[in-house]
Amino acid sequence: MMKLLEVAFVVAMLIPFATHWDWTYFYWIAVTATYLAYIAVRRWEYE
């Protein structure tokens, strides 16, 4: 389940190619920041 969540973060980085959002730049930063926060807080619990 947690592995799927991680794959979802990677796939989320590709979404702007389908949506053409004007705020793509901020979206990418937000996804990366959220993923980093997830790794910092939760990731190691599942090892």
Partner 1 sequence: MNEFIALIIFYAIIGTAIALYARRGVRTQEDYFIGGRNIGGIISALTYAATTYSAFMMVGLVGLSYKTGVGAAGFELMYLVGTLFLLSYYAPKVWKLGKEKGLVSPAEIFTHRYGVVTAKLATILALIALIPYTSIQMIGVALILQKNAGIGFASGVAIASILIALWAFLGGLRGVAWTDAIQGVFMLTVAILAVLWTFNYMGGFEIPNELAVVPNEFWTPLRFATLTIPWFFFALTNPQVFQRLFIPKDEKAIKRMVVLFGLFGLIYTVLVTFLGLDLRFGTEIGKFPAIADRDKVTPTLLGMMPEWIALPLALSIIAAAVTTANSIILTLSSMVLRDVVGEKGKVIGGKIVVIVLTIIVAMFALKRISYIVELAVLSSTILLCQLPLILGVFHWKWGKEKTGLATLICGFVTAIALSAMMHPMVSIATFCVSFAVFLAMSSIER
Chain contacts with partner 1 (rule: CB under 8 A): 6, 9-10, 13, 16-17, 20-25, 28-29, 31-33, 35-36, 39-40, 43-44, 47
Cβ 36 to partner 1 shortest distance, Å:
4
Q: Give the C-alpha separation, 5 to 20, whole Å.
A: 24
For residue 45, what is the DSSP state? G
* Residue labelled with tokens 């937000």: 30
The minimum distance between CB 28 and partner 1, in angstroms, equals 5
Which CB atom, from 1 or from 9, has the smaller least distance to partner 1? 9
